[in-house]
Structure 1
């Protein structure tokens, strides 16, 4: 049995998956974000309850908004203060007496999508989340590529490329990022960035949904903005795709519901690729809110048949 836990700032979602990768259990509890010992005990309780239910010890994968420090195993996670700076994986392994895998939630999202039946034959799948922030995960041959510092796939903290920067006009907004740098893609390709850029150009605040609704109603200002944003996004994606060369790109997050992305980006991106390259298949995420827990469980899938 494969267990996955998607730990967020408000809830922990647990899922159990059988050998056919079918979900056979689901449970949600509140996340204790302030008391580390209680957070650990709540995870242990979920696992032990389901061990008893299924009569076996399941493998354990955890996805959360953050990453493990490659040097000392402590967590960097702003949204879960209780776990920040703590050796979460090691403490759970000590309590549960088995291996525990921990990954960034964007990597789990990408892994979930990569194990869709249609994409298992694709060698490289890139997951991109255009939600509150912009992030991603890279999957090669069914395995998360997290890098030596566990930051591979952190595309949101690469910088806006020069052609995209110039496309923002004579006075582009240089936005501060939570990572301490400026000009990170996180602040431009996220839903938040979509709204901030609209405010920058038109000096009025408007939600992403309202902008998109106005676009579909042929509002000229919204259409002008969306056209500029699509070209900006194509320039940014062109650089990412050149470096990573994915076969499939799966987009999640709130902006993934803007279907114009899938119509327009494949037409625009080739201009920003090398002449020998073609645009990868770009699709909307298929597993929605369940992607995180599904991907967490799949951290422990065998890569070959034994």
Structure 2
């Protein structure tokens, strides 16, 4: 087996609200080493310092230095100001994260939204490897998305490609009292995110008379035959199907990949494609719905893939 060249090594950083993960990938997509530490809550300078320290520690472990670094973060870099925007890690907003990390490390750092990194990882060598157009979806405490075409991340002129969660829930059902819908963190009602995220499912369940406190409990009760929990899951799957049908009608992706905690609900992969048929503007739907291959490692892997093989800095 041919040895990996130093130029085939890249570092990914997954900067989350509760943890920071740094991993070194080789040209075959294998993780050579990784570190994970708690995120300094609300302390932006400490976050920058910690990322730089973790990157250098990973390089020292492999006896290399100056490798290309990509970082996945909540929110996005504003094309207008060059500073962070739309991050639910509030201390990042308004900060020049890309420049600060580059200065701390003494090299260029590439940054993308964490959902974009997830989509890129799964398109490169994950569940959607080889597909022409991929829509990657993170379903957890929030809802995010990313678009990859020909294994290239689509950012768009506003840096918000894939932000489907901040659109209104399509084709609302009055019989389920979906208008105006829950209020999101942006002050607007009835977005896809507020309905399809984990807290949104729990809120809907409790409105229907259920007592479960989290998604896992709802799923356990549904599997045990609880009709209220079963109805909650059916409503959630229907809303997810309508939301993804709108994506198919616009983007027509080959594959939709699901990640995040709610992607572990097994019935999604059968029920959602059955339900989205009613809303997709086609006589047949060939888009595949699949579970992420790399799980919670997709964020850090996709961040590393922001750099092509060879480490070109062009």
Tell whether the structures are fold-level matches, with TM greater than 0.5: yes
Q: In the alignment, is the contact (CA less than 8 A) between 1:32 and 1:82 conserved in 2?
A: no
Q: In the alignment, is the contact (CA less than 8 A) between 2:34 and 2:58 conserved in 1?
A: no
Q: In the alignment, is the contact (CA less than 8 A) between 2:128 and 2:257 conserved in 1?
A: no
Bigger CA drift: 270-279 or 129-138?
A: 270-279
Counterpart for residue 209 of structure 2: 202
Summarize the Cα distance change of 1:73–1:258 in structure 2 as closer, same or farther, 3 Å threshold.
same
Counterpart for residue 3 of structure 2: none
The Cα offsets for residues 6-28 of structure 1, whole Å up to 9 and x where unpaired, read as 11122211000011111001112
Q: In the alignment, is the contact (CA less than 8 A) between 1:33 and 1:83 conserved in 2?
A: no
Q: In the alignment, is the contact (CA less than 8 A) between 1:266 and 1:279 conserved in 2?
A: no
Counterpart for residue 263 of structure 2: 256
Counterpart for residue 15 of structure 1: 23
Say whether residues 1:90 and 2:99 are aligned partners. yes
Summarize the Cα distance change of 1:93–1:160 in structure 2 as closer, same or farther, 3 Å threshold.
same
Bigger CA drift: 77-86 or 17-26?
A: 77-86
The Cα offsets for residues 190-224 of structure 1, whole Å up to 9 and x where unpaired, read as 11111111122236554222221222122223333
Distance 2:215 2:87 in 1: 25
Counterpart for residue 6 of structure 2: none
Bigger CA drift: 246-255 or 208-217?
A: 208-217
- Equivalent residue in structure 2 for 1:153, among 146, 153, 162: 162
Summarize the Cα distance change of 1:268–1:96 in structure 2 as closer, same or farther, 3 Å threshold.
same
Aligned length: 303
Distance 2:216 2:304 in 1: 32
Summarize the Cα distance change of 1:276–1:95 in structure 2 as closer, same or farther, 3 Å threshold.
same
Distance 2:124 2:178 in 1: 43
Say whether residues 1:114 and 2:119 are aligned partners. no
Counterpart for residue 80 of structure 2: 71
Summarize the Cα distance change of 1:25–1:265 in structure 2 as closer, same or farther, 3 Å threshold.
same
Summarize the Cα distance change of 1:242–1:62 in structure 2 as closer, same or farther, 3 Å threshold.
same
Bigger CA drift: 263-272 or 111-120?
A: 111-120
Summarize the Cα distance change of 1:37–1:203 in structure 2 as closer, same or farther, 3 Å threshold.
closer
Q: CA deviation at 1:78?
A: 4.4
- In structure 1, list runs of 5 or more residues that go unmatched: none
Summarize the Cα distance change of 1:215–1:89 in structure 2 as closer, same or farther, 3 Å threshold.
same
Q: In the alignment, is the contact (CA less than 8 A) between 1:175 and 1:182 conserved in 2?
A: yes
Counterpart for residue 217 of structure 1: 224
Counterpart for residue 70 of structure 2: 61
Summarize the Cα distance change of 1:224–1:180 in structure 2 as closer, same or farther, 3 Å threshold.
closer
Say whether residues 1:272 and 2:279 are aligned partners. yes
Summarize the Cα distance change of 1:117–1:190 in structure 2 as closer, same or farther, 3 Å threshold.
closer
Q: Runs of 4+ in structure 1 displaced over 6 angstroms?
A: none
Summarize the Cα distance change of 1:286–1:76 in structure 2 as closer, same or farther, 3 Å threshold.
same
Summarize the Cα distance change of 1:159–1:173 in structure 2 as closer, same or farther, 3 Å threshold.
closer
- In structure 2, list runs of 5 or more residues that go unmatched: 1-8
- Equivalent residue in structure 1 for 2:45, among 29, 37, 56: 37
- Equivalent residue in structure 1 for 2:149, among 137, 140, 145: 140
Distance 2:142 2:186 in 1: 12
Counterpart for residue 32 of structure 2: 24
Bigger CA drift: 36-45 or 257-266?
A: 36-45
Summarize the Cα distance change of 1:218–1:167 in structure 2 as closer, same or farther, 3 Å threshold.
farther
Q: Give the TM-score, by structure 2 length.
A: 0.88
Summarize the Cα distance change of 1:236–1:80 in structure 2 as closer, same or farther, 3 Å threshold.
closer
Q: CA deviation at 1:117?
A: 5.6
